[in-house]
Amino acid sequence: MAPRGISTSSSITLHVNGEKYTLPVDHRTTLLDALRERLDLTGTKKGCDQGQCGACTVLVDGRRTVSCLQLAVAAEGRDITTIEGVADGDALHPVQQAFVEFDGFQCGYCTPGQICSALGVLQEHAAGWPSAATQDVRPEAGVPALTPEEIRERMSGNLCRCGAYVSIVQAVAQAAESTKEQLA
């Protein structure tokens, strides 16, 4: 129990998929639980709840984040994108489209996290960020090609119990191709 006079909850405003939500939260509430249990945005999945599986990945200010390790209070005022905010109305995002075309899922439980992570990968790659698989990290070497090895390394934080990895890598490669000009 908190010492008398010390509050354990606050009213916060979360900016999710372009909407503002003001809600009281216990300070220990994770962003994942706030999204799923309080805002009913259940597209974001809870797998391990300890930062190991990537199922809960969302974008916070454009960066991929495992929402089970972020407190909701720390996300206040930041721009959060969940899987529910990725499509443009009925039009799937190219990353979503590629997952459908290449069968990048089986049960689908990991898929929202895979797609949010792939969005982060494409932006990080377009910005020239190297990965552990990048052979030449000198600035003059430029943006590394997004090879299957690069994709596997960059997506390695997202586990898939169904083992759909081969198709996921193909889907991310296809999505990289179709968003190349948009992200350049």
- Interacting residues with ligand FES (CB under 6 A): 46-49, 51-56, 66, 68, 105-111, 160-162, 164
Exposed, middle or buried by CB within 10 Å (0-12, 13-18, 19+), for 172?
A: buried
Q: Shortest Cβ distance from residue 3 to ligand FES (Å)?
A: 31
* C-beta of 13 vs 52, nearer to ligand FES: 52
* C-beta of 87 vs 107, nearer to ligand FES: 107
Q: Shortest Cβ distance from residue 76 to ligand FES (Å)?
A: 20
Sign, CA torsion 122/128/130/133: positive
Q: Shortest Cβ distance from residue 44 to ligand FES (Å)?
A: 9
Under DSSP, the state recorded for 30 is B
With a CB cutoff of 8 Å and minimum separation 6, the contacts of 56 are 32, 44, 45, 46, 47, 49, 66, 67, 68, 113
Q: Shortest Cβ distance from residue 45 to ligand FES (Å)?
A: 7
* C-beta of 8 vs 52, nearer to ligand FES: 52
